[in-house]
């Protein structure tokens, strides 16, 4: 009998790609998502890719009663992958209470139900934002966490603490926090990808929407950072590579190979690219020229960060494989699919 995995936020960008990888690895998946930043049609496209439509329930995990009722009705869950969260850095600066309520309460509700209904394993979708602006690069798992640059980043940091403390108090629980760097790209089928509702907060959807003519110009937030070309640097990881790491993490927990009850891994490529390099990379990969404009820095953004992936590579046996131009081309193919271009 296949292991049953609950994927919260499973119709979202990273969640949907992870559901595909889980199903293709033989797992039985059930998704909970309130569709606040995704569309129900994602389920049909997951089915087109994998041949299986995952089970789905639509509710908000910040609702304690509904979360408890879900776990009461759905026994036999072997592990949880918790993606569901509000995730826009800029919006979190403007609406901090929304972010703290949604991101922290949903985590606490899930953990309470894990304990109550004997669900032993959880993989948490964390972020490199917990490092703030590091003093030393690249970032390892031992790099000190800093005060976050945004309420969004702080919710990831606080949720890590909640998770760590809960596991320490409940030895039957096992947790892995995966600290993502910057997920980009789309599934090679072009059937699922990043589709922000409203104005994008991430760079690549802004690039592809500008290329498709939905946006008049791409805004580059700052050209006076202490970087080679003045624009901010990030470690951009292909979303399919990232999704596969979740399957590895789930298998690690289910097989009991985790070394402690709470483990942390950085998921990135080990390379940093600037915003202007991303623009040039997209133009090279697609042949499409972008209209962009340098504007003031954006609140909550850090200057530069990229990962040291040695620990994840060696301990998990996982490595990011896809290159930047290949990844950016998948983003463009997805944009064209969505827009009917």
The answer to whether 152 is a known catalytic residue is: yes
pLDDT under 70: residue ranges of the chain: none
What does the domain layout of the chain look like in residue ranges?
A: 4-185+236-267
The answer to whether 270 and 307 are in contact (CB under 8 A) is: yes
Amino acid 199: pLDDT: 76
Measured between alpha carbons, how far is 220 from 202 in angstroms, rounded to an integer? 11
Digit-coded pLDDT (tens) for 102-139: 999 999 999 999 999 999 999 999 999 899 889 999 99
Q: What are phi and psi of 40, to 5 degrees?
A: -65, -25
Q: What percent of the chain has pLDDT over 70?
A: 100
What span, in angstroms and rounded, lies between the C-alpha atoms of 341 and 322? Answer: 25
d(CA 73, CA 77): 11
Q: Is the dihedral of CA 143, 145, 150, 152 positive or negative?
A: positive
Residue of 13, 99, 131, 152 with catalytic role: 152
What integer pLDDT is reported at residue 163 of this predicted model? Answer: 98
Long-range contacts of 311-315 (CB under 8 A, 24+ apart): 311/140, 311/141, 311/265, 311/266, 312/245, 312/265, 312/266, 312/267, 315/265
Token pair 């945004």 is found at: 150
Task: Extract the tokens encoding 131.
Answer: 């490092």
pLDDT of residue 87: 85
Confidence (pTM) = 0.96
**pLDDT (0 to 100) of residue 273:** 97
CATH fold of 4-185+236-267 reads Rossmann fold (3.40.50)
């Amino acid at each position: 009998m296949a292991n049953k995995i609950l994927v919260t936020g499973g119709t979202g960008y990273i969640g949907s790609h992870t559901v595909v990888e889980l199903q293709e690895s033989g797992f039985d998946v059930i998704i909970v998502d309130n569709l606040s930043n995704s569309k129900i049609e994602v389920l049909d496209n997951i089915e087109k890719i994998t041949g299986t439509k995952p089970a789905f329930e639509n509710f908000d995990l910040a609702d304690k009663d509904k979360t408890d009722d879900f776990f009461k009705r759905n026994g036999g869950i072997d592990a949880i992958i918790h993606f569901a969260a509000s995730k826009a850095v800029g919006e979190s600066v403007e609406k901090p209470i929304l972010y703290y309520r949604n991101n922290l309460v949903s985590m606490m509700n899930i953990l309470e139900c894990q304990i109550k209904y004997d669900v032993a394993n959880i993989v948490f979708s964390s972020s490199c934002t917990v490092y703030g602006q590091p003093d030393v690069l690249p970032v390892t798992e031992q790099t000190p966490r800093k005060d976050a640059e945004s309420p969004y980043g702080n919710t990831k940091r606080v949720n890590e603490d909640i998770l760590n403390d809960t596991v320490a108090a409940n030895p039957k629980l096992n947790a892995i926090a995966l600290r993502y760097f910057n997920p980009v790209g789309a599934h090679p089928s072009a059937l699922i990808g990043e589709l922000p509702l409203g104005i994008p907060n991430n760079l690549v959807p802004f690039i592809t929407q500008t290329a498709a003519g939905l946006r008049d110009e791409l805004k580059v937030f700052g050209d006076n950072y202490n970087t080679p070309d003045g624009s901010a640097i990030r470690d951009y990881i292909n979303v399919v590579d990232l999704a596969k790491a979740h399957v590895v993490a789930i298998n690690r927990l289910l097989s009991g190979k985790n070394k402690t009850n709470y483990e942390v891994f950085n998921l990135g490529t080990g390379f940093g690219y600037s915003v202007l390099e991303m623009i040039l990379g997209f133009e090279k990969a697609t042949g499409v020229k972008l209209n962009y404009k340098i504007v003031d820095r954006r609140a909550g953004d850090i200057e530069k960060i990229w990962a040291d992936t040695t620990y994840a590579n060696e301990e998990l046996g996982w490595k990011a494989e896809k290159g930047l131009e290949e990844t950016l081309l998948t983003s463009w193919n997805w944009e064209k699919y969505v827009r009917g271009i």
